[in-house]
A and B are shown apart, each in its own frame.
Chain A
Amino acid sequence: MGISRDSRHKRRKTGGRMPIHQKKRAFEKARQPAMTKIGHKRVHVVRCRGGNMKYRALRLDVGNFVWTSENLASKSRVLWVVYNATNNELVRTNTLTKNTIVEIDATPFKALYSKKYGVDLGKVKKDKEETEQKKEQSEKAKKVWEDKKKKWEELSKNLYIDPLVKEEFKVGRLLACISSRPGQSGRADGYVLEGPELEFYKKKIEKKSKQ
């Protein structure tokens, strides 16, 4: 390809040129960037130095995202890129890289949260329907349901959810940050933004949308 990662083409600290006395070596070679887009999964395997494999993701649509404060993790669909601190072009072209802020589908997290706490985020009506359904079940299932309810009551004493995140659930989309390197590992995994980080990025996005 011609891309190399040598330091021979750079100048010295003093400003003087480095004499190029040898050709480019194989151990200095670099490859084209992945520029992972959003779409049906397409991952190429690359054989690297030492026989090791790198999984170059060219297109990804899902990732494993973790909701840290609730200790919940789920595979969720990546919808679109919202912010990238490095380059606005990457936002326009919906490119996934490490530390990209994306919007993800909130439904898996809604389900996990209701399973853990018995609280439905976003809608109130569903709760009543569910309790009616449970009443019709067999005795065994009833007992399980009662146990769950007890557990939920206990947990509900320490319930806290970031107000900004709660709002996001109403829309059905969460803001998340990619923490894996899609061009290296072939995955777009990350964490749901919360607290000060969420406030920071929300401000940045609003500022951009105003412009």
Chain B
Amino acid sequence: MADVQTERAFQKQEIVSLRTKKFLTKKTSTGVRYWKNVGLGFKTPKSASEGAYIDKKCPFTGNVSIRGRILRGMVVSTKMKNTVVIRRNYLHYIPKYSRFEKRHTNISAHCSPAFDTIKEGDIVTIGQCRPLSKTVRFNVLKVQPNQIFGAARKQFVLF
């Protein structure tokens, strides 16, 4: 429980009140936790409902709603704090030559601590939410572990 409070301000879920008589008298170590079902058929991971992390941008335990686009891509970088870079590959048609060319887009998505085993090369489903930072408008909803050979940036996988 103590490892959750790493910041200078007290980390808590805004919705849960830790100042009720019920909570204060019980003094249980488990505590009260708010978590929700994001909808659209996505399962809430166990680590979200049972974990102790506090993340206001998490789709399961925070204050964001998933609406709009749902996309799939491959994780390219996990170096950022709580966000991952996802690469989406697609083919663009050139009519003159009746052929395709490879193109890709990088999307930054917020990755909740519920998915702490995410690594480069994993196939990830992301859902659109409100802007969370300058470049982040998506949130990771589902992770499918995947083993790749070589660099994640060099893989061309279409979804």
Cβ of B12 under 8 Å from chain A:
yes
Tell me which of A13, A160, A191, A200 contacts B10 (CB under 8 A).
Answer: A200
Question: Contact flags (1/0) for B12-32 with A, using CB distance below 8 Å?
Answer: 100001111101110000000
- Known contacts A13-B135, A194-B24; decide if A85 and B18 are in contact (CB<8 Å): no
Give the complex CA separation of A162 and B18 in angstroms. 12
Cβ of A80 under 8 Å from chain B:
no
- Known contacts A10-B134, A160-B24, A160-B25; decide if A194 and B9 are in contact (CB<8 Å): no
Tell me which of B7, B19, B134 contacts A197 (CB under 8 A).
Answer: B19
Report chain B residues within 8 Å CB of A201.
Answer: 10
Q: DSSP majority for the A interface? A: mixed
Give the complex CA separation of A68 and B24 in angstroms. 11
Which residue of A160, A196, A200 has the most chain B CB atoms within 10 A of its CB atom? A196
Cβ B18 vs Cβ A197 within 8 A: yes
Cβ A68 vs Cβ B10 within 8 A: no
Report chain B residues within 8 Å CB of A195.
Answer: 18-19, 23-24
Cβ of B5 under 8 Å from chain A:
yes
Q: Looking across the interface, which residue of chain A has its beta carbon closest to that of B108?
A: A13
Give the complex CA separation of A97 and B54 in angstroms. 23
Question: Contact flags (1/0) for B76-108 with A, using CB distance below 8 Å?
Answer: 000000000000000000000000000000001
Report chain A residues within 8 Å CB of B154.
Answer: none
- Residues of chain A having any CB pair with chain B under 8 Å: 7, 10, 13, 68-70, 85-86, 99, 160, 162, 191-192, 194-197, 200-201, 204
Provide 9 A-B residue pairs closer than 8 Å at the C-beta atoms, listed in order of the A residue: A7-B134, A68-B20, A86-B8, A99-B9, A160-B24, A160-B25, A194-B18, A194-B19, A200-B5
